[in-house]
Structure 1
Amino acid sequence: MFSFSGLGDFLSSGTSWMFFVFALLAIGGAIFMISFTKVVHMVVAVALTFISLAGLYIILEAEFVAFVQVLIYAGAISILMIFGIMMTRHRGEAEEAPRRPWHEGLAIVGSLALFGVIFYAIQKSTFVANGTLDAGKDNTLEIGKLLYNVHVIPFEIMSVLLTVAFIGAIVVAKREED
């Protein structure tokens, strides 16, 4: 059936424990985000998820990606969502849909089944090391070289796309106000 032989070794390292903490916070933030009914609470839950993902990136030794995750997603996107909330008009609380308790039960059963399938697949898998990872001495410098030399056109297109999306959000919010 299931083999827990490597579980003790896995749980004996601090990195594994930090992975569990950050993973639970990320999953919890995502679940809270879809469960909350107030938009500000949803934004806080999404920010928690983003910060937890940054912690996971630090564990993976991708410090630059973690910094960008905190700076862009946890900071800028969350602030942008809050500004969007403040710029729109809200007319009281919406009626809550009738709750069906069997939906929550099915969600719990489905989540446990998914966890079981993933756990079984990981336990039965064999991971082969193909060599050692040659990590760069300065990851940020290498990412910068790739971003501004090789991928400069997609980078600029993405910045224009984000600017257009921001302007569109302002126009939609102003249109609702009128």
Structure 2
Amino acid sequence: MFNFNIEFTGEFVAFFLLSVCAIVGAVLAINFTKVVHTALSIAFTFIALAGLYVVLEAEFLAFVQVLLYVGAITILMIFGIMMTKHDGEGNEPARSLLETLAAIGCICLFGILFFAIRNADFPAAEVALAEDNTREIGMLMFTRYAIPFELTSVLLTVAFIGAIALAKREEGEE
């Protein structure tokens, strides 16, 4: 049942270390009480995920992960934290029973997933991968998926204008 036939290659070690970093960053984001520390641990998790994308040979996704999530989203979270008041931060009561039940639930979920994945049969599909996946994504984006790409840009522009309008309205109320 537990026959682990694992080759310890550099790719496996990198995948293991990056996945441990991603899990540790996510757990720290949940457990930190200060919101700035939470935002930084989320950024750490995003960087680890970008590294996992590089290991999986998805360089474009890794670049977008760093550019959007680590750069824009984390900075946006930190600005949001700086602009809000946090008077009662860190004054939460201890919930040892709830934390114990959550830990037991996590261990049970890990066990179920572990045995389900170990006993599953994943057929290996023969897929011809593109030599330059970034170029292929660009070609598809501007040929086959040009209309959804443009609609997404219009949607983001409308959301940006709406956010500015809401911010101006709140500013005028004060």
TM bracket, shorter-chain basis: 0.7 to 0.9
Structure 1 residue runs of 5 or longer lacking an equivalent are none
Q: Does 1:158 align with 2:158?
A: no
Q: How far has the Cα of 1:165 moved from its partner?
A: 3.5
TM-score, normalised on structure 2? 0.85
Q: CA RMSD in A?
A: 2.3
In the alignment, what sits opposite 1:60?
56
Q: How far has the Cα of 1:116 moved from its partner?
A: 0.8
Residues 131-174 of structure 1: per-residue CA shift (max 9 Å, x gap): 3x311111111100111122222222322333344444455556
> Following the alignment from structure 1 to structure 2, what is the Cα–Cα distance between the partners of residues 158 and 32?
33
Higher mean C-alpha deviation, range 167-176 or range 36-45? 167-176
Tell me how many residue pairs correspond in the alignment: 172
Asked whether the equivalents of residues 33 and 89 of structure 2 are also in contact (C-alpha less than 8 Å), the reply is: no
Trace 1:77-88 onto structure 2 (pairs within 5 A). 77-86=73-82, 88=83
Aligned counterpart in structure 1 of residue 18 of structure 2, from 19, 22, 37: 22
SS at 2:130 equivalent: coil
> Following the alignment from structure 1 to structure 2, what is the Cα–Cα distance between the partners of residues 85 and 149?
40
Residues 35-91 of structure 1: per-residue CA shift (max 9 Å, x gap): 2232222211111111111111111111111111111111111112222233x2415
Runs of 4+ that moved beyond 4 A: 167-174
In the alignment, what sits opposite 2:104?
109
Aligned in 2, Cα 1:45/1:171: closer, same or farther, shift over 3 Å?
farther
Higher relative contact order (CA 8 A, sep 6+): 1
Asked whether the equivalents of residues 34 and 90 of structure 2 are also in contact (C-alpha less than 8 Å), the reply is: no
> Following the alignment from structure 2 to structure 1, what is the Cα–Cα distance between the partners of residues 159 and 36?
21
SS at 2:101 equivalent: helix
In the alignment, what sits opposite 1:70?
66
Residues 95-150 of structure 1: per-residue CA shift (max 9 Å, x gap): 7332210111111111111111111112212232233x311111111100111122
Structure 2 residue runs of 5 or longer lacking an equivalent are none
Aligned counterpart in structure 1 of residue 138 of structure 2, from 114, 136, 144: 144
Aligned in 2, Cα 1:22/1:97: closer, same or farther, shift over 3 Å?
same
Aligned in 2, Cα 1:91/1:84: closer, same or farther, shift over 3 Å?
closer
> Following the alignment from structure 2 to structure 1, what is the Cα–Cα distance between the partners of residues 163 and 80?
8
In the alignment, what sits opposite 1:125?
120
> Following the alignment from structure 1 to structure 2, what is the Cα–Cα distance between the partners of residues 82 and 110?
31
Identical aligned residues as a percent: 51
